[in-house]
Amino acid sequence: MNSSEKRLLCLVNSRSGGNKGAEIAKLLPGLKLSGIDEIEVKFLDESSPLPLAQEVESKYSHVLVAGGDGTFSSVLGNYLNSKIDFILLPLGTGNDLARELGLKKIWRNNLQAFLVHCLNLPVETLQIWQANLLSENSEPKAFRFLNYISFGWDGLIVQRFEELRRKGIFPSGKFGPWGNRSLYALAALKYPYYQLPSLSIEADSKLIELNASLRSLIISNICSVMGLGMTNLKGNISDDQIEICEVRNVFDYVKMILPAKLRSPRKLCSVVQAKDIVVKFNNQNIPAPIQVDGEFIGLFQGSSAEIRSIGTVLVRRSKS
């Protein structure tokens, strides 16, 4: 890239936000942004693989990612320790990461104003985490995530949500994020109670014994979850610690979505912070549903999940 030239690469998930991504992709090339000489749009689909980090760093000054948290995770996980900085345009259902970055409040369907504001925001590091799932009967599997990984009932809700959306049970696309949230509620009502198999946790080599059965175990890099809720008040996207949140019953889920002034005590769930986490499943015959950054991964019947930071990416963040 010419040292005097500034180019913005826009990676767009056309289906996000009830197909709003497709509309935004049409508007982007025509924007006039001070300090940006050219705007290039690429769609995120199977026929258009992501450009390599080295190529992006050589051709562009900034990258915009338009989509939901799952889109962000699938893109940013490929640019580990890159020097390029990313702007996240929230078009998903929950937009948890955008809330954490302060970008959800900025985005008001005014593309020009949003980008002008974001290009003047400071750059901050965002930790990328990896979960290595180990099983005695199959090959290890690894998943990178930005927001959180969870084991339990909420994974089944995400699975059910995807099933209902594919069947067109509710016109979530027509009503955008709020339609999707309504569909999540319907999925939760339609799914039966689920209890995790017995497990234990090693947090920085310290054994944590769980005295009560759990509905879900959420290991989160951020405070925000599920679009409307908050697991803890300790999350920090830039430090190298991650929070373990135990969800024992449906009341813990209710507490997550209460306004801060109504939460008593303010610590919503039992929260532990650590750099290195190993979740050990004591009964491998009982499957544990897993979701990663809001995407259902499957049912895990293995011995353990090892979770560690593997590096960082650079993101624009509003402190307000």
pLDDT tens per residue, range 145-193: 999 999 988 888 888 877 777 776 655 555 555 666 666 677 777 777 7
Domain parsing of the chain, residue ranges: 7-127, 128-310
CA 243 vs. chain centroid, Å, equals 14
Q: Report pTM.
A: 0.85
What does the alpha-carbon distance between residue 277 and residue 279 come to, in Å, rounded to a whole number?
Answer: 7
267, pLDDT greater than 60: no
Is-same-fold flag (7-127; 128-310)?
no
Residue 119, pLDDT score: 94
CATH fold for the domain made of 128-310: Tumour Suppressor Smad4 (2.60.200)
Residue 180, pLDDT score: 60
* Percent of the chain whose pLDDT exceeds 70: 85
Q: Which CATH number is correct for 7-127, 3.40.50.10330, 3.40.50.2000, 3.40.470.10, 1.10.3260.10?
A: 3.40.50.10330
Give the start-end residues of each E strand in 1-74: 7-12, 38-43, 62-67
Contact 11, 44 (CB under 8 A): yes
pLDDT tens per residue, range 38-97: 999 999 876 677 888 888 999 999 999 999 888 888 899 889 999 999 999 998 877 888
Q: Is 240 helix (H, G, I), strand (E, B) or coil?
A: coil
pLDDT tens per residue, range 87-120: 999 988 778 888 889 998 888 889 999 999 999 9
Which residue(s) pair with 224 in the sheet?
230
